[in-house]
Amino acid sequence: MTLRAQGFLGIEGRRGGVPGMLRRIGAVQLDTISVLARSHELVAYARLGPVPRERIERAYWHPRTPTAFEYWSHAACILPIEDWPYQAFRRRAVRARGRRWHTVPERACAEVVARLRAEGPLTATQLGGAKGGGAWWDWSETKIAVEWMLDVGDVICVRREGWRRVYDLPERALPRELLGQDPPDSWPTSPRGPRGRLAWPPARTSWTTSG
C-alpha cells in the first residue's frame, strides 16, 4: 500500500508524467548535493523511468505557466501550485516569529518589492547579489530580505535559472483563484490525503479571504 501510494507500483503511478507524479505525492525535496543526479530528478526517475532531464525541469519550473512553487514544507521542497493556500499556516508562523536566523532589513524588503514590480521576476544576483563576502551563511541584505519574504509569502519562487531561484510577486505568478484563499491553521497542509485522495474539509466556504 505504501509503495503504491508513493507511485512505485501500478500504472496509475505513471499517469500524467512528472506533473501528475508531483500532484500525487504532494512534495519533492530539493537538495544541492548531486552524485548520480539531484534528488528532485531521482524522485522522478524512480517512479517514471528514464525521463529526460529537461522534461523534469520543465514540469517543476515551467517557464510560462507555473505548476509548482518552492517552499519549506518538511524541508526545502517543490509543491504543486494548488497547495499554496495550504502553506499559509507556516507563512503566518514565520511572520509572527519576526525573524529567520538573520535580522530582517525592512528597507531591503521594500527595495526588493519595488524592483520586482518594476522589472519583473529576478534572481538574488540580479536584485543586487546574494553573498555578503564572508562564510556560507553570510548573506547580503538583499538575500536576507528576499528569503524572508519567500518564507512569509510576500514573494514566491515558481522558476529557476540553472540552480538560482527566480523570485516573483505572488499576485503575478499565482493563478487568480488561489489569491486571497486563507484557510485556518486547523486545515490540512494539502488538498490530498493518503494515496492522493482529496481531503477537502466539508465547510470549504468557511475560508476567509484576504485583501
* pLDDT tens column, 85-138: 999 999 999 999 887 778 888 999 999 999 999 999 999 999 987 665 555 567
Q: Which helix (H) or strand (E) holds 141?
A: helix 141-152
% of the chain at pLDDT higher than 90: 40
- Give exposure, 81-113, as e/b (b: 16+ Cβ within 10 Å): bbbbbbbbebbeebeeeeebebebbeebbebbb
The CA-CA-CA angle for residues 89, 16, 86, to 5°, reads 5
pTM, rounded to two decimals = 0.80
Quick: pLDDT tens for 158-173. Answer: 999 888 999 999 999 9
Higher pLDDT, 211 or 118: 118
